[in-house]
Amino acid sequence: MASLPGTAPAPIGVTEREARLAGLRRGMAAAGVEAVLLGSTSSLRYFTGIDWHPSERLLGAVVHASGGLDYVSPRFELEKIEQLISLPGGILTWEEDESPWRLVADRIGTKGNLAVDERITLAMYRSLRGEIDDARLADAAPLIHPLRSRKSPAEIALMRHAKAITLEVHKRAHAQLRAGQRASEVVRFIDDEHRALGGSGNSFCIVSFGEDTSLPHGGEGDRVLARGDVVLIDTGTRIDGYSSDITRTYVFGEARPEVLRVWEAEKRAQAAAFEAARPGIPCEDVDAASRRSLEADGFGPGYALPGLPHRTGHGIGLDIHEGPYLVKGDRTPLATGMCFSNEPMIVVPGAFGVRLEDHFHMTDAGPAWFTEPQHSLDEPFANAPRWPSA
């Protein structure tokens, strides 16, 4: 359930990051992996706390099963990296005319396997293959995903705070809508409000009016709002890197009966997915439950339109979209600490779309909402908590 935070929860601390590294090393030992190479990805932040924008230059870390930790950095970034390090470790530097991949290969030696961060670029991986035999390279995803997919209480608290902020921003955006307003104006308003409430600004923002709502990620133009338009707003922010992502759909003015019919079917499908999310069941069963609800209301089947053209939900954390996913074929069992979006959108091609998106986290007893689902089509924020300063 949404809360109204005063100050933001504490950021992730050194003790929790050390526990994450210990968990990674246990997995490495079981898999016979000598070292894991992290690139400038969210996994680097997850394990070390360093948030670095990725580029063609390698800046990352090597985690050793034996207990060591080495940061890898261009030499000209050394002084900055030294300021960002919170976990002790060596720093391997390379000059612009040197190979960072040779540096990594020399550090791990000629024996043992190296598991590689799945999110590094193909160009980087090809460069690494030039220094280390394929037979010694492995995918780090099976080691990293089980750790990242089950969030700690501290991670859940940060996401709860981010989502409470975004829900309040949605409420304020709804209140300021006016005829003749462009979608881009609403995007700017939402960014300003995210920042005013302590978020990072918009991590993304989709504002769609009218027919553009039938496109899951919005249209390419800058549509002007008119009376009777369906409004779909999907946005989020970050707190200490952890994401919010909430969608609300309503009508600016009076809703047509067909829009109300679709909106109510969407709400039932979202509720069906939530009810299906029980500990131990495979992720794909949640997707199947929402589709059964939609089919009972005359949508689909499967991905057919009018109906649901994408998965029911995605995992969320440091990345807005991360595994596991609520989709056919993902048989990952639901477990305590997993966090998901619940957004079984209904698209009516060429007319409009309805997406209601809230997130839940798994507990030992079942799913728990981060934010309460939208109250109704006509009163979208009737059940939203009152922000203290509002």
Going by C-beta distance under 8 Å and a sequence separation of 6 or more, which residues neighbour residue 350? Answer: 211, 214
**Token duo for residue 281:** 């069941």
Strands 204-209 and 229-236, bridge-based pairing: antiparallel
Q: Which of 275, 380, 261, 273 is nearest to 327 (CA)?
A: 273
Q: What DSSP state is assigned to residue 171?
A: H
CB 149 within 8 A of CB 336: no
CB 344 within 8 A of CB 269: yes
* Exposure string for 277-314, b = 16+ CB within 10 A, e = fewer: beeeebbbbbbbbbbebbbebebbeeeeebbbbbbbbb
| CATH 3.90.230.10 domain range(s) in the chain | 150-369
| CATH 3.40.350.10 domain range(s) in the chain | 14-148
Question: In whole angstroms, how large is the CA radius of gyration of the chain?
Answer: 23
Task: Quote the mean pLDDT of the chain.
Answer: 96
CB 198 within 8 A of CB 178: no
- pLDDT, one tens digit per residue, over 352-362 is 999 999 999 99
Element (H, E) at 232: strand 229-236
Count CB neighbours of 79 within 10 A. 9
Enter the CATH code of domain 14-148. Answer: 3.40.350.10
Q: What angle do CA 315, 308, 385 make, to 5 degrees?
A: 55
pTM > 0.85? yes
Confidence (pLDDT) at 3: 46
Residues in the chain: 390
Q: Which of 274, 313, 10, 1 is nearest to 164 (CA)?
A: 1
Alpha-carbon gap, residue 149 to 156, rounded angstroms: 12
Alpha-carbon gap, residue 151 to 101, rounded angstroms: 32
- Digit-by-digit pLDDT tens for the chain (390 residues) are 444 556 789 999 999 999 999 999 999 999 999 999 999 999 999 999 999 999 999 999 999 999 999 999 999 999 999 999 999 999 999 999 999 999 999 999 988 899 999 999 999 999 999 999 999 999 999 999 999 999 999 999 999 999 999 999 999 999 999 999 999 999 999 999 999 999 999 999 999 999 999 999 999 999 999 999 999 999 999 999 999 999 999 999 999 999 999 999 999 999 999 999 999 999 999 999 999 999 999 999 999 999 999 999 999 999 999 999 999 999 999 999 999 999 999 999 999 999 999 999 999 999 999 999 999 999 999 999 988 865
Strands 35-38 and 114-116, bridge-based pairing: parallel
Overall fold of domain 150-369 = Creatine Amidinohydrolase (3.90.230)
Q: Which of 25, 39, 31, 23 is nearest to 118 (CA)?
A: 39
